[in-house]
Amino acid sequence: MKSDLGQKSLWMQFNLYLSIGLQNLLAHKLRSFLTMLGMIFGVAAVVSMLSIGAGAQQQVMAFIEQLGVRNLIVEAKETTDPQTFQTVRKTSPGLTFQDFRVIRGNVKDIAVATARKRFAPSKVFPKPQQEMPVLYGVDPNYQRISSLQVNAGRFYDDEENERGAAVCVLGEGTKTNLFGPQDAIGQFVKVHEQWLRVIGVVGPQLTIRSDVGGVPAQDRNNLIYVPLYCPILRMADINSRWRDEIDGIYLQLSAGADSFEAARVVRGILDASHRGTDDYNVIVPAELLAEQKRTQRIFDMVMVAIASISLLVGGIGIMNIMLASILERTREIGVRRALGARQRDIIRQFMIEAILISFVGGILGVGFGFGISRLIAMLAGWSTIVTASSIWLAFLVSVSVGLIFGSYPAVKAARLDPVEAIRYE
């Protein structure tokens, strides 16, 4: 019974202090709002910065996951500069079908694999409405390795691949780029002087605008997939003398295989055949994913540290205004002490006022930060994600700032001599 009465008494006291605090803040609306601005901008900075970082990192990590955490990718570092090309060819033959066969024969736990021959045409019919599509000459295994979903028609089979059949499968962007809303299945695409029959259209692929871990930036929706030997046998590439025999290798490992160990073996094979020449990249998506997660954590800590400077300034503003408030209300404090208020009662009163400022400023800051992130997404075309964790982090930090910077003025107010306080003018 006594416990219930005590809790009720504490709740009544809290409501009383809260009411007094609100009255004091509302009595000086402009001053209270200006004090809150530091908290508002600080919280908004934390929320908006973390939303930009989360959006960018999520897009990169989704792209890496799309590459396949069980996959290994070898990318040739090709050059069209004659001097550089001749220097490289003195020690390395470039990426070749021989490399592909040796890797398949010596790396354990390879489930499926394909080489890749990329071809960038200068003439395509129907005329593209936007950028020129790029051809990927790959085995049918590429569909499984890259998790391509065929939305219409079918992918070419092994028999068509072996004879380099004049068929193609369009990326979603290529289909729209060449045929618009029309059905593309059964239509023909002319690449240079070679006609290709469209037999399928694949679904959308996630694309990023910059290189990631050695994977070159490429609009993965603006691709034309053809049998591996089709571009080699049927299409003349004026830059073929500057190209490697193949420019990519995709490997998908069996479930449970060690991708890091497999990558070490692949690098060893290529180092031997290329005589240590740095003319290729071995990309391990699982390794990239782990690295991006580490980068995300570091980025979040740095962004929070930078944005917390604004919160620190806001906390100084709260301390300043609370100290000024004590001077204005010295006589009130003295009267309350004379009527029986204890030091802890005065501390609670001023602490609640400081927390109110940071609490309301935190709420307004969260809304402002959310608005900034949406505005950036619209104007800059960036992907922004406001996470619950960023909101709670910013909000808790703002309230903590109110507690920390409001404690000194509250203690100072409680230590005033009641007699001197009553006589204060």
Q: Residues 194-243: pLDDT tens digits? A: 899 999 999 888 766 655 555 666 778 899 999 998 888 887 665 556 67
Statement: residue 143 has pLDDT above 50:
yes
Contacts of 87 (CB under 8 A, 6+ apart): none
- Of residues 95 and 409, the one with the higher pLDDT is 95
Mean pLDDT of 270-286: 85
Q: Phi/psi at 243 (nearest 5 deg)?
A: -105, 150
CA dihedral sign of residues 140, 145, 146, 147: positive
Confidence class for position 101, pLDDT limits 50, 70, 90: very high
Statement: residue 32 has pLDDT above 50:
yes
State residue 328's pLDDT score.
74
Mean pLDDT of 340-361: 78
Question: Greatest CA span in the chain, whole angstroms?
Answer: 104
Phi-psi region at 79: left, alpha or beta (left = phi > 0; alpha = psi -120 to 50): beta
Confidence class for position 139, pLDDT limits 50, 70, 90: very high
Confidence class for position 11, pLDDT limits 50, 70, 90: low
* Residue % of the chain over a pLDDT of 70: 82
State residue 2's pLDDT score.
42
CA separation for the pair 29, 291 (Å, rounded) = 49
- Of residues 135 and 302, the one with the higher pLDDT is 135
Mean pLDDT of 253-280: 87
The end-to-end CA distance of the chain, in Å, is 45
CA separation for the pair 220, 218 (Å, rounded) = 6
> CB of 66 within 8 A of CB of 207?
no
> CB of 371 within 8 A of CB of 378?
no
Range with the poorest average pLDDT among 16-20, 43-47, 110-114: 16-20
Coil vs helix vs strand at 187: coil
Mean pLDDT of 80-84: 76
pLDDT digits (tens, 9 = 90+) for 280-289: 888 887 777 7
Statement: residue 91 has pLDDT above 80:
yes
pTM above 0.75, yes or no: no
Cα radius of gyration rounded to whole Å, the chain: 33
Statement: residue 130 has pLDDT above 80:
yes
Residue type, 271: D
State residue 370's pLDDT score.
84
Contacts of 32 (CB under 8 A, 6+ apart): 25, 26, 321, 357
Mean pLDDT of 391-412: 77
Confidence class for position 167, pLDDT limits 50, 70, 90: very high
* Residue % of the chain over a pLDDT of 90: 18
pLDDT digits (tens, 9 = 90+) for 406-425: 787 777 777 777 666 665 55
What does the mean pLDDT of the chain come to? 79
